[in-house]
């Protein structure tokens, strides 16, 4: 097993261009500009990480990371369109319109008390800005398949850790001691699941054992960072497979504890979540937009219903009111694990609160739902409930039909009378003059 830190000298296996399938045609023009300018300025410049891995797998990479011996300040001096970011890891972002190329300086293990590195009591890296060379940098990376370097100088690939072989075997292996590496960064457990789902790789048994021992360390990860990981896990087109692996390795409960509890008790809820995840994957595959608001509502649906029933027993409130309050309280609890921005939690509450109202299909109030700003999301949510047998299919058909109808036809569907008969006008009776008036 490979140890953490830099081993005693180990030369990379250098794979010449003729012996691998990574082509510059697969590399964005922006990334090539960065690589060539660094190289022409006398610096080493390598593509590294997922872009090299995906190119080898024929997956057409979209994100490109560059590793170099240039310091962040040297990178900024070379590119006017560069800004430096990060405290935990100091990085350079070089922008070309909407395209951003991330440039990282080679890192090394800390060996001096003055080195810019910090860990918490559990061993998690809080800051790591110790710079080194490529021979040291490779041992700071996570999985062997992500530690391949594409050298722009001669288009070769440098492999220090057997990453090419692990890609051929479709296996996820951590570099170094798995327990230590997961303690350094518990998010690597989520990354293992994400890569396994995306690439259809198996996870090395040593990594699985370390995940089982360290799953609770995810509670130490900042909630804002876990929200970023949530987006990567569920909005990349393989959400259902990711969900299965998260549940299999007992990680999902660390992200959504209330949801995990309901999944263990309610098979219908499991079916509903799966249907939503499959729908998300279909939308991503079709190039359609997805929003975290919708999936967060899916995950909180069963817990919100259970809590809403308690509120209705305690207080006099409607189903919509109780669902809205329950969703609010659950979202507040969820923030302790995943920091979900209000721009997602507020519409999520409105979407859930509309579900009982969609069961009513008669009258002006029901018809006004078509104008509600969350109607479309609530309608899509209700369709998933209908697909899994939790809402009458006739209700779903009704709301599908009325969206296509003309105004008069729609009003008839809601049983609203649009033309009232004119009111009957009685004959006007002349006011009789009083006797006193006639005698005056």
Catalytic residues: 63, 65, 142
What tokens does 312 get? 């209705």
DSSP 237: S
Alpha-carbon gap, residue 158 to 176, rounded angstroms: 18
Element (H, E) at 384: helix 375-387
Alpha-carbon gap, residue 71 to 105, rounded angstroms: 6
Burial class (CB in 10 A: 0-12, 13-18, 19+), 39: middle
Residues 146 and 53: beta-carbon distance below 8 Å:
yes
What tokens does 433 get? 């003059």
Alpha-carbon gap, residue 209 to 405, rounded angstroms: 58
Alpha-carbon gap, residue 127 to 116, rounded angstroms: 7
Q: Which residues pair with 68 in a beta bridge?
A: 45, 105
Alpha-carbon gap, residue 120 to 33, rounded angstroms: 38
Nearest alpha carbon to residue 272 among 298, 253, 294, 308: 298
Alpha-carbon gap, residue 94 to 82, rounded angstroms: 4
What does the angle CA 277 – CA 282 – CA 283 come to, to the nearest 5 degrees? 95
What is the residue whose two structure tokens read 């041992």? Answer: 139
Per-residue CA distances from 252 to 35, 47, 119, 268 (Å) = 39, 32, 25, 18
Alpha-carbon gap, residue 70 to 75, rounded angstroms: 6
What tokens does 111 get? 């060996």
Alpha-carbon gap, residue 409 to 37, rounded angstroms: 65
Please report the DSSP string for 69-80 in residue order.
SS-HHHHHHH-T
What tokens does 387 get? 């697909």
């Amino acid at each position: 097993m490979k140890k953490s830190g830099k081993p005693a000298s180990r030369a990379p296996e250098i794979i010449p261009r003729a012996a691998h399938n990574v082509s510059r045609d697969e590399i964005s023009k922006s990334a090539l500009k960065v690589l060539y300018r660094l190289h022409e300025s006398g610096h080493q410049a390598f593509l590294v990480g997922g872009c090299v891995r995906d190119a080898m797998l024929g997956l057409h990479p979209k994100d490109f990371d560059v590793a170099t011996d240039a310091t962040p300040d040297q990178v900024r001096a070379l590119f006017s369109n560069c800004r430096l970011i990060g405290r935990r890891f100091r990085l350079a972002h070089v922008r070309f319109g909407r395209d951003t190329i991330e440039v990282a300086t080679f890192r090394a293990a800390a060996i001096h008390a003055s080195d810019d590195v910090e860990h918490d009591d559990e061993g998690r890296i809080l800051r790591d800005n110790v710079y080194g060379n490529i021979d040291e940098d490779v041992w700071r990376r996570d999985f062997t398949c992500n530690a391949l370097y594409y050298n722009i100088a001669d288009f070769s690939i440098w492999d220090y850790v057997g990453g090419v072989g692990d890609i051929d075997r479709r296996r996820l292996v951590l570099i170094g001691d798995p327990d230590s590496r997961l303690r350094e960064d518990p998010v690597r457990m989520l990354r293992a699941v994400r890569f396994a789902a995306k690439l259809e790789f198996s996870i090395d048994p040593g990594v699985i054992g370390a995940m089982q021992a360290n799953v609770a360390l995810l509670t130490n990860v900042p909630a804002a960072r876990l929200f970023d990981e949530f987006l990567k896990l569920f909005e990349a087109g393989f959400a259902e497979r990711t969900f299965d692996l998260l549940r299999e390795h007992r990680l999902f409960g660390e992200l959504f504890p209330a949801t995990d509890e309901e999944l263990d008790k309610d098979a219908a809820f499991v079916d509903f979540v799966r249907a939503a995840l499959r729908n998300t994957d279909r939308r991503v595959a079709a190039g359609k937009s997805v929003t975290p608001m919708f999936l967060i509502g899916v995950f909180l649906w069963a817990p919100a219903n259970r809590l809403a029933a308690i509120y209705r027993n305690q207080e006099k409130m409607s189903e919509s009111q109780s669902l809205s309050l329950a969703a609010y309280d659950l979202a507040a609890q969820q923030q302790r694990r995943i920091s979900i921005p209000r721009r997602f939690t507020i519409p999520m509450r409105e979407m859930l609160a509309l579900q009982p109202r969609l069961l009513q299909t008669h009258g002006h109030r029901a018809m006004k739902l078509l104008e509600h700003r969350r109607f479309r999301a609530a309608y899509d949510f209700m369709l998933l409930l209908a697909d899994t047998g939790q809402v009458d299919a006739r209700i779903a058909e009704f709301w599908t039909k009325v969206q296509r109808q003309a105004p008069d036809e729609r009003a008839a569907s809601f049983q609203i009378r649009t033309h009232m008969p004119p009111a009957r006008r009685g004959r006007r009776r002349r006011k009789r003059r009083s006797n006193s008036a006639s005698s005056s």
